Amino acid sequence: MRIGAKYSHLNGEEYLIVHKPALWREVQDVISSIDAVACKTKISKEKTMPGRLLYSPTEMNAAFKTGLEVIGWTERRNTFWVTADERLLRGIYGLSSAEQKSAIQHAGHEPIMSYNQTDFVKDRVAVEVQFGKYAFVAHDLFVKHLSFYVSDIIDVGIEILPMKELEKEMSSGVPYYERDLLNVLRQGRGVPAVPLVLIGVLP
């Protein structure tokens, strides 16, 4: 695979170039190491393209997982506690998980454990590879990356997406870089409030 386009949000790429050049190179090397042709294994059952050979999201995700994990990128969970009291939640978000739970109990509410999970984290950089449904990208950008950043677990997030040229050779409902680039741009310069790099990949 190769990088077809990339966008630096809140100087995400610049941060990587200056502070994490080795990690930035690792991500680029993993992308270039993936044999997209070998991932073109899915036989479509959709009415609009029956029998057509498509790129398999499962195969591509597996290739990224193998490539990143072998060089030390690992899954990370950020656990937190929630309740229905809005004012209480606003006051405890920056606390540790244990302190959140204690504060909710002290206020007379039942704490509910929740978490955000990111597939690949290494040395305060997170990577999400999204070849699934398009709605998952917004969750990655506006929930996962932001949550990990606000919780001081990462300094920058990387989102890897197919470009439209690749998406056209995949099942329906898959995200593509060009659309999600617009989704970020139309929020304004400061939203989401986390440095990001959006990467569009091609075979």
Residue 3 binned pLDDT confidence (cut-offs 50, 70, 90)? very high
125: left (phi over 0), alpha (psi -120 to 50) or beta: beta
- Tens digit of each residue's pLDDT (9 = 90 or more) over 103-151: 999 999 999 999 889 989 999 999 999 998 777 888 899 889 998 998 8
**Within a domain: 103:** no
**Within a domain: 21:** yes
CATH number of the structural domain spanning residue 172: 3.40.91.20
Q: Which of 62-66, 76-80, 171-175 has the highest mean pLDDT?
A: 62-66
How many independent structural domains does the chain possess?
A: 1
**Nearest residue to 34 (alpha-carbon basis) of 162, 124, 157:** 162
**Within a domain: 112:** no
Q: What 3-state DSSP class applies to 203? A: coil
What is the per-residue pLDDT for 50?
81
Residues of the domain holding 190 = 1-74+155-203
Residue 19 binned pLDDT confidence (cut-offs 50, 70, 90)? very high
- Tens digit of each residue's pLDDT (9 = 90 or more) over 181-202: 999 999 988 899 999 999 999 9
Reported residue count of the chain is: 203
Which amino acid does the sequence have at 90? R
pTM metric for this prediction: 0.89
Average pLDDT over residues 25-39: 96
What is the per-residue pLDDT for 173?
81
**Within a domain: 116:** no
**Within a domain: 107:** no
For 14-62, the DSSP string reads HHHHHH-HHHHHHHHHHHHH--TGGG--EEP-STTSTT-EE--HHHHHH
- How many other CB atoms are found less than 10 A from the CB of residue 53? 12
What is the per-residue pLDDT for 116?
86
**Within a domain: 195:** yes
Contacts of 19-28 with C-beta under 8 Å, sequence gap 24+, read 19/155, 20/123, 20/124, 20/125, 20/155, 20/156, 23/122, 23/123, 23/125, 26/68, 26/71, 26/73, 26/122, 27/68, 27/127, 27/158, 27/199, 28/3
Higher pLDDT among residues 49 and 156, named by residue = 156
What is the per-residue pLDDT for 76?
93
**Within a domain: 97:** no
Q: Hunting for tokens 């739970």 — which residue is that?
A: 101
**Within a domain: 174:** yes
